[in-house]
Amino acid sequence: MITGSAPWRGTAWAVGKLGLSGRTLVIAIPMLWLLVFFLAPFFVLGRISLAEAIIARPPYTPMFERGPDGSLEIIASLENYRFLLTDALYRNAYLSSIRIAAVSTIFALLIGYPMAYFIARAPEPRRSLLLLLVILPFWTSFLLRVYAWMGFLRTNGVINNMLMGMGVIDQPLVMMQTDFAVYIGIVYTYLPFMILPLYANLTKLDGALLEAASDLGASPVVTFFTVTLPLSLPGIVAGSMLVFIPAIGEYVIPALLGGPDTLMIGRVLWDEFFGSRDWPVASAVAIVMLVLVVAPIMWLQSVQNRRGAD
Amino acid sequence: MQKPAIAADTRPWLSAGAQPFISVQGLVKQFADFTAVSDVDLDIYKGELFCLLGESGCGKSTLLRMLAGFEIPTQGRIVIDGEDMARVPPDRRPTNMMFQSYALFPHMSVEKNVAYGLLREGLGKREAYARAGEMLKMVKLEKLARRKPDQLSGGQRQRVALARALVKRPKLLLLDEPLGALDKKLREETQFELIKIQESLGVTFIVVTHDQDEAMTLATRIGVMKDGIIKQIGEPHEIYERPNSRFVADFIGTVNLFDGKVDAVAPDLMRIETAELGPVLLPPQTGLTRGQQVWGAVRPERFALSRQKPDGAHNAWRGVVEDLGYIGHMTQYRIRLENGRLIRASQSNRLRDEDPISWDEPVWISVQPAAFRVLTE
């Protein structure tokens, strides 16, 4: 049904003549965006990953070539993928990335959940202020904030100086260029992405449910684990995804805070592209990473759909 | 035929020595700048179905929430079965509550909802689910045990909430507007079902409601609340027939109120002088002095309408039928007296076939002295 003012109706009629409904049109715009800025580059990447590195410009073999008899040959090989699977470096880099991202996600959840919970339970005027404080770090550059952490963590940094000044330690702690620093950097940076979806979920939690649980004999701790936590599962999933996915491919934090042993796929990618100038292998690395990230999301989606269905 | 006697122990509030099961003493609840409940005393006996009745904001819900343990009283005691519970947290009280919104756990099936309280008591899974199943059978929901709350109708959800609150066999069940979300027809059926369940289990119920019909139907006794105070406690017929204030008289049902002054008090008769009805004769009432300001209250159905002046009636006035509403079992009249005062009267329609009194007819309205209730506040 078409309602609304005359100009809108006119447009709708014109669009309708082209065989398009308003609904298709509304969906078409983001679809077009994704097509141009995501899917097309993705295919370019896929195509490069099937080529071979050469010293040329661009530094990979063309996909189509004229054979000696003038026929068109398609040159594509999965050699790069085979290489990724056999070389331990890449496998370790993937595993290490997943581990660092997973551990960071767990810590972000453990820190973010109570914060989100208390913001959601705070009285209304204070709630907006607390939310503002959560978002506030976004107002300065991400890079600056990571550099600020370097000032805190390094041997002659704020934390070491303070602890030594108080006499807690004699020798400065080595924190910079360790996995520990990388965890701190990732958890710190992505914490708001954990808090915001959790907050959105927890504010919707009906207080009467908590009262009902306590009325039925559940202590506050039992109430939390039997009512609050299961009901906030969608928020936990959303927040964890928002932390885990970018953390896997994180490049800047391990590069600035991590040490030589910190192996993450983002760094490997950088080295392949700019160090070795091996675009095909780098492209294959990127595609595999994408698959690694997309697979758990699709699985979660299907689990949630199934749960919604029954 | 002999009238069946009402057993004395079903109305323990009538006997002087009876021990109340729940005793609320000097209960006060103050929020930042407003007193929700001020100095409430209330005794409730075992097996009662007590209704707290009042408009929204009168403090009835706050009182209920203090009984459940969700609000800590500013002052006063809540004694349940001999123990002061005023500061005991809700999970350690022998009370359960049925919430107005039902507050069913959306992530649990019906049977899990009902078994939840039993599992918290430390009961084994097998026994908890068996007892939950029995309870669901009682509320006729055993077939829907595996459904989630959002797959149920409003009436079904209401019964799940009731089953969940009753399954722990609480000493006291608190019900916050238990029928408020149901439509009229379902509400009327459910009222009687609720009474039946309450009687068969012998659990003491306290029901909060703003619906006077519901309170009248359900309650053994009613407490009428206003501004954080219980204005009157009594059985439904007492509240209706013998209200103790203009507020209660007006809140429960319809009433005609007349300002007046006590004019003469004799041993067998009393006269009050009203501005709008002139002198009115009624049976004497103790505690009234000559010249005291009083209000006369008459229920609409207590007026008799007739075309001729009724014989020997002292309290009879002339008027004209200004409006009438026929609603089946009775007809409501609005009668304008000669001095301009509008009277609400209603007549039962048992005799409706015989040429009923109609619009614009001059009529006599009269009232028996005993039907006139004198109020002093």
Site from A215, A221, A225, A307 to mutate, B interface, most B CB atoms within 10 angstroms: A215
Cα distances from A169 to residues A163, A177, A227, A261, in angstroms, run: 6, 20, 44, 26
pLDDT of residue B288: 84
What distance in Å separates residue B176's CA from the closest CA in chain A? 12
Beta bridge partners of B274: B260, B278
Whether residue A309 has pLDDT greater than 80? no
Torsion of CA A12, A15, A18, A23, to 10 degrees: -80
Cα A210 to Cα B69: distance, rounded to the nearest angstrom:
13
- The residue of chain A with its CA nearest to that of B100 is A208
pLDDT tier at B88 (50, 70, 90 boundaries)? Answer: very high
What b/e string do you get for B227-241 counting C-beta neighbours within 10 Å, with b at 16 or more? ebebbbbbbbeebbe
Whether residue B197 has pLDDT greater than 70? yes
Identity of the residue in B91, B99, B101 whose CB atom sits nearest the CB atom of A217: B91
- The DSSP result for A57-109, as a single string, is SSSB--SEEE-TTS-EEE----HHHHHHHH-HHHHHHHHHHHHHHHHHHHHHH
Domain A87-277, CATH among 1.20.1050.10, 3.30.70.1090, 3.10.20.740, 1.10.3720.10: 1.10.3720.10
Residue ranges of chain A whose CB lies within 8 Å of a chain B CB: 206, 208-209, 211-219, 222, 226-227, 230-231
pLDDT tier at B351 (50, 70, 90 boundaries)? Answer: low
pLDDT of residue B4: 59
What distance in Å separates residue A309's CA from the closest CA in chain B? 12
Give residue B166's identity as a one-letter amino acid code: L
- Strands B342-348 and B330-337 turn out to be antiparallel
pLDDT tier at A2 (50, 70, 90 boundaries)? Answer: very low
pLDDT tier at B137 (50, 70, 90 boundaries)? Answer: very high
Lowest mean pLDDT among A8-12, A171-175, B6-10: B6-10
- The DSSP result for B92-157, as a single string, is GSSEEEE-TT----TTS-HHHHHHHHHHHTT--HHHHHHHHHHHHHHTT-GGGTTS-GGGS-HHHH
Long-range contacts formed by B133-136: CB under 8 A, 24+ apart: B135/B163, B135/B166, B135/B167, B136/B110, B136/B111, B136/B160, B136/B163
pLDDT of residue A301: 80
pLDDT tier at A260 (50, 70, 90 boundaries)? Answer: confident
Is A218 within 8 Å of B91 when comparing Cβ atoms?
A: yes
B319 close to B343: Cβ distance less than 8 angstroms:
yes
pLDDT of residue A310: 47
pLDDT of residue B8: 47
pLDDT tier at B313 (50, 70, 90 boundaries)? Answer: low
Q: DSSP E strands: which ranges in chain B? A: 22-31, 34-44, 49-53, 75-80, 83-84, 95-98, 172-176, 204-209, 221-226, 229-234, 256-265, 270-274, 278-282, 293-298, 303-306, 316-326, 330-337, 342-348, 362-367, 373-375
Give contacts of B107 with chain A, Cβ < 8 Å.
Answer: 230-231
Whether residue A283 has pLDDT greater than 60? yes
CATH topology of domain B254-375: OB fold (Dihydrolipoamide Acetyltransferase, E2P) (2.40.50)
Cα B240 to Cα B248: distance, rounded to the nearest angstrom:
8
| Between A173 and A212, residue with greater pLDDT | A212
**B91 close to A (CB below 8 A):** yes
Cα B78 to Cα B76: distance, rounded to the nearest angstrom:
7
pLDDT tier at A55 (50, 70, 90 boundaries)? Answer: confident
**B94 close to A (CB below 8 A):** no
pLDDT of residue A298: 86
pLDDT of residue B9: 56
Is A215 within 8 Å of B69 when comparing Cβ atoms?
A: yes
Helix (H) or strand (E) holding B10, with range, is none
pTM given for the model: 0.82
Give the mean model confidence (pLDDT) for residues B280-291.
84
pLDDT tier at A308 (50, 70, 90 boundaries)? Answer: low
| Axis-axis angle for helices A279-309, A79-86 (nearest 10) | 80
Cα B330 to Cα B311: distance, rounded to the nearest angstrom:
25
Of chain B, the percentage scoring pLDDT greater than 70 comes to 96
Whether residue B314 has pLDDT greater than 90? no
Whether residue A244 has pLDDT greater than 50? yes
Tokens matching residue B271: 């006269």
Q: Is A282 exposed, middle or buried (0-12, 13-18, 19+ CB in 10 A)?
A: buried
Site from B98, B99, B108 to mutate, A interface, most A CB atoms within 10 angstroms: B99
- The residue of chain B with its CA nearest to that of A220 is B91
Query: Coil, strand, or helix at residue B166?
Result: helix
A-proximal residues of B, 304-343, CB under 8 Å:
none
Domain with CATH 2.40.50.140 in chain B: 254-375
Cα B1 to Cα A249: distance, rounded to the nearest angstrom:
92
Lowest mean pLDDT among A73-87, A238-252, B245-259: A73-87
Query: Coil, strand, or helix at residue B54?
Result: coil
User: pLDDT tens digits, residue range B144-154?
Assistant: 999 999 999 99
The distance in angstroms from the start CA to the end CA of chain B is 41
The domain ranges of chain A are: 87-277
* Count of residues making up chain A: 310
Of chain B, the percentage scoring pLDDT greater than 90 comes to 62
| Axis-axis angle for helices A88-121, A233-248 (nearest 10) | 140
Cα B102 to Cα B81: distance, rounded to the nearest angstrom:
26
Is A218 within 8 Å of B97 when comparing Cβ atoms?
A: no
B138 close to B188: Cβ distance less than 8 angstroms:
no
Is A216 within 8 Å of B120 when comparing Cβ atoms?
A: yes
Tell me the CATH number for domain B19-249: 3.40.50.300
Report the 10 Å Cβ neighbour count for B320: 14
pLDDT tier at A1 (50, 70, 90 boundaries)? Answer: very low
Give the mean model confidence (pLDDT) for residues A44-65.
85
The DSSP letter of residue B183 is: -
pLDDT of residue B81: 92
Of chain A, the percentage scoring pLDDT greater than 90 comes to 46
pLDDT tier at B352 (50, 70, 90 boundaries)? Answer: low
User: pLDDT tens digits, residue range A118-146?
Assistant: 999 999 889 999 999 999 988 999 999 99
Whether residue B112 has pLDDT greater than 60? yes
What distance in Å separates residue B60's CA from the closest CA in chain A? 17
User: pLDDT tens digits, residue range B211-239?
Assistant: 998 999 999 999 999 999 999 999 999 99
